[in-house]
């Protein structure tokens, strides 16, 4: 498995809408393994394919507590099919916006339909951190970032900061 470079704001790739996965095969399963390894290395609890430069509707996550065994999950072509009216606020961060955190209000519960690594349709009813993480990562697949839920002033400040950092950072090189 390969740790892949993570795309960082303000890279316009993050605003792309990802395309549905056409076929679940060994190449896709290997890519899912790379994504999980990249997410764990970062370290993070969720990662969308677009965050490693692949505009595919796939995400990985693991919301297990630190002392619990790992619980890696892969969601292919995930789609939110139901949202609760009740809302929840979580402090969110993003591997593509390192070291920036903000409180975001989202539906407290979601139902997500997706394909697993065998290409079989699954449905999960999620609440708590799993619901937040699924919504955050599915947003990535639609070109939406968690900072889009902030006020224009806060969002503009974050984007300015990352544009300045990008100027000072050497260009990323693809590896692997």
Query: What are the residue numbers of the active site?
Result: 137
Q: How, if at all, do strands 58-61 and 46-48 pair?
A: antiparallel
Is cis: bond before 43, omega within 30 of 0? yes
Among 102, 75, 82, 99, residue whose Cα is nearest residue 90: 102
CB of 112 within 8 A of CB of 137? no
Among 39, 36, 26, 1, residue whose Cα is nearest residue 119: 26
CA distance 27 to 162: 33
């Amino acid at each position: 498995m390969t740790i892949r470079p993570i795309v960082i704001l303000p890279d316009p790739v993050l605003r792309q809408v990802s395309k549905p996965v056409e076929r679940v095969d060994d190449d896709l399963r290997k890519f899912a393994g790379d994504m999980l390894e990249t997410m764990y290395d970062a370290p993070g609890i969720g990662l969308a394919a677009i965050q490693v430069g692949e505009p595919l509707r796939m995400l990985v996550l693991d919301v297990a507590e630190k002392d619990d065994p790992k619980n890696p999950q892969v969601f292919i072509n995930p789609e939110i099919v139901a949202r609760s009216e009740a809302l929840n606020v979580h402090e969110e961060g993003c591997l593509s916006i390192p070291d920036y955190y903000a409180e975001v209000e989202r539906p407290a519960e979601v139902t997500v339909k997706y394909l697993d690594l065998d290409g079989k349709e699954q449905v999960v009813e999620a609440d708590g951190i799993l619901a937040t993480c699924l919504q955050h990562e599915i947003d990535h697949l639609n070109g939406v970032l968690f900072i889009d839920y902030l006020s224009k002033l806060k969002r503009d400040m974050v984007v300015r900061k990352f544009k300045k950092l990008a100027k000072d950072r050497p260009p990323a090189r693809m590896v692997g």
